[in-house]
Amino acid sequence: METLNLLFSIDDHFVEQFKVTLYSVYQTSSCKNITVYILQKRPLKKNKMIKHFCLLLGIDYVPVVIGEEDFKDAPVSSRYPEAIYYRLLAQEYLPQNLEKMLYLDADILCLNDVMPLYRLDIADMLYAAASHVADKSITDLVNKLRLNNFEAESYFNSGVLLMNLETCRHKIKRQDIMEYITKKAGTLLLPDQDILNALYGTQIKQIPDQVYNYDTRYDMLYFARSWGEWNLDWVIKNTVFLHFCGRDKPWRSDYSGRYAALYKYYQHQTALLDKRDK
């Protein structure tokens, strides 16, 4: 039986948001055989709550505890916390029999079936990901100059990553990441995303952001880029992941973005599921 493997990296402060993301994926996925993995330095205090919520949906939950020792000698700072390594080195901690994993940020809402993306053949590439830039030509050039990766197709957002775990195990080396951070720390703006692009940007298969990583901040730019085709109706029918990037988040009471009602609906449904079992 096919299994949809999902990966998150959260702390105890982001559990409620994670639950909304997971619930939206479950509701829209054609595959209900789902296993969720969460990367965590030490066992989350809310692991029991997460496990119970997954049980309500019939989802298997596997906490992936990194431990206290693995990154004790890694370069870290207030700008570069230890957690930046988890997503890049996830393949070292996940079960070795897994071949594919879909990583999601917990500020994402799923509107349509994720399985066409999950089944995407990315051959010997490391990842599939989308580019998130309003003006691709200018922003891509700036990032390529900054990171010196001119061969990369684009600058990729790391919030949605289809991971080819077998290839990652062979090609991604912990020491390469450590050395890059030590050498380039002053030029990195979004540490793990910058490292992803600088070291592995040429080994990422590009997927359309309007479908798989729709940045809600740029709604009018999507509309303009498509000459009016990607309107609200189109997004509801075609977009898989709405990504609420930036500081304004839809779970806040003062959020008034275009997709606020959609998020708050799923947030409400998630809360109802919790209440029904109490």
Contact present, 260 and 254 (Cβ < 8 Å) = no
C-alpha pair distances (Å), 66 with each of 40, 42, 50, 72, 175:
6, 7, 18, 11, 17
Integer Rg of the chain from CA: 18
Please give the Cα distance from 85 to 110 (Å, whole number): 26
Which is nearest to 198 in space by CA: 88, 68, 60? 88
Predicted TM-score (pTM) of the model is 0.90
Long-range contacts formed by 151-155: CB under 8 A, 24+ apart: 151/201, 151/202, 152/197, 152/201, 152/202, 152/204, 153/201, 153/202, 153/204, 153/206, 154/201, 154/206, 155/131, 155/197, 155/201
Enter the tokens of residue 113: 């079936």
**What 8-state DSSP symbol labels residue 3?**
-
Q: pLDDT tens, position by position, for the chain (278 residues)?
A: 899 999 999 999 999 999 999 999 999 999 999 999 999 999 999 999 999 999 999 999 999 999 877 777 666 665 556 777 888 999 999 999 999 999 999 999 999 999 999 999 999 999 999 986 644 543 544 444 444 443 444 689 999 999 999 999 999 999 998 888 888 766 666 667 888 988 999 999 999 999 999 999 999 989 988 999 999 999 999 999 999 998 899 999 889 889 999 999 999 999 999 877 65
Residue 151, pLDDT score? 41
Closest by CA to 9, choosing from 75, 118, 88, is 88
All structural domains of the chain: 4-276 (3.90.550.10)
CB-based contacts of 119: which residues, under 8 Å, 6+ apart? Answer: none
